[in-house]
Amino acid sequence: MNDNSFYEKVYEVVRLVPAGRVTTYGAIAKYLGAARSSRLVGWAMNVSHHVQPPVPAHRVVNRLGLLSGKAHFGHSSTMEDRLKTEGIVVLNDQIQHFPNVFWDPEKELKFI
DNA sequence: TGAATGACTCGAT
DNA sequence: GATCGAGCCATTC
């Protein structure tokens, strides 16, 4: 649990996601050089609830644009409501126009 | 120490 | 084209 741990990198990338945009676990994992560690990203999100500053985990969804982690936000509608507040269209726990709002760290950050 | 779990993803059938 | 199963890595019991 060091400050430079895998989780901290995940949090940093997630915090870079602009409002109105979302990213995927796989995209984050791939950006960190662990494309097959997508589950670890989800694990990191699970711990991110008591991480400071808060991590916008609601902007992270699975590859299908499905709010797979909404159940971990306390209320099932919290994640969906936050996304809607940022202008993202969510229907049936799934992000609409997903390719349009998808934010790829590798593409946006240009391989920092 | 060993085994099981998980907010995922990809490949095979 | 849709469904099922295996893999992956870190954390937890």
Shortest CA to C1' contact from A39: nucleotide: B8
Please compute the mean of the pLDDT values over residues A77-88 and round it to a whole number: 94
Q: Is the CB of A43 under 7 A from strand B?
A: yes
Contact A66, A72 (CB under 8 A): no
pLDDT at site A101: 94
Percentage of residues of chain A with pLDDT beyond 70: 94
- Contact of A82 with A58, CB cutoff 8 Å: yes
Is pTM beyond 0.85? Reply is yes
Strand B contacted by A83 CB (< 7 A): no
> What is the average pLDDT across A77-105?
93
* A105 Cβ contact partners less than 8 Å away, ≥ 6 residues apart: A13, A16, A23, A27, A28, A31
pLDDT for position A111: 47
Cβ A93 to strand B below 7 Å: no
